[in-house]
Amino acid sequence: MRHGKKINHLGRKTAHRHSMLANMACSLVEHKRINTTVAKAKALKQFVEPLVTKSKEDTTHNRRLVFAKLRQKEAVAELFRTVAPKVGDRPGGYTRIIKLGNRLGDNADMAMIELVDFNELYNAGKATKKKSTRRSRRGSGSSSAAAPAAKAAPAKAEKEAKKEEE
């Protein structure tokens, strides 16, 4: 039975697995998407998401915590400089796993893992979301009745201006 065993060991010893995940995370931060097996992608997602959450607040302590996991100064700088501002308003779910099919050599399930906000194809249709305040319904009755009259007044003024020009 596998009671309480949540970590996928990926057929590696602990040190090898941590080094592999750190290298894959650095590649993901640098290239914004990588191709790997589905099992490694799921393990990488659990490894990277807390690091991205820490990078949203740029403090020396958070930089040191992230550097302890990633072990590459350039990847940490890239994470805090470019990735963190793009995901600043997102509450979680910074990565996306897309299954690609099976690998030719050994028929392993392949997947592409990518940072969500860096995919232009998925974000092209969505406009940047403006933060708006929530409006109550109490005052809407009187303002909606006055709205058509307000729209009609500028239209009349434009027509009169055109007549004066002619």
Question: What pLDDT digit, counting tens, does each position of 34-65 carry?
Answer: 999 999 999 999 999 999 999 999 999 999 99
Average pLDDT of the chain?
A: 86
Instruction: Assess if CATH 3.40.50.720 describes domain 14-123.
Output: no
Dmax (CA) for the chain in angstroms is 90
| Count of beta carbons in the 10 Å neighbourhood of residue 95 | 18
pLDDT at 17: 98
Question: Tokens 């992608």 belong to which residue?
Answer: 41
Closest by CA position to 46, among listed 28, 58, 32: 28
Measured CA to CA, the distance from residue 19 to residue 112 in angstroms comes to: 20
Measured CA to CA, the distance from residue 145 to residue 83 in angstroms comes to: 47
Residue 115 burial class via C-beta count within 10 angstroms: exposed 0-12, middle 13-18, buried 19 and up: buried
Higher pLDDT, 148 or 105: 105
Percent of the chain with pLDDT over 90: 66
For residue 2, name the pLDDT band (cuts at 50, 70, 90).
confident
Beta-carbon contacts of residue 90 (< 8 Å; ≥ 6 apart): 116, 117
Instruction: Determine the Cα angle at 92 with ends 95 and 118, to 5°.
Output: 40
- Please give the single-letter amino acid code of residue 76: V
| Domain residue limits, the chain | 14-123
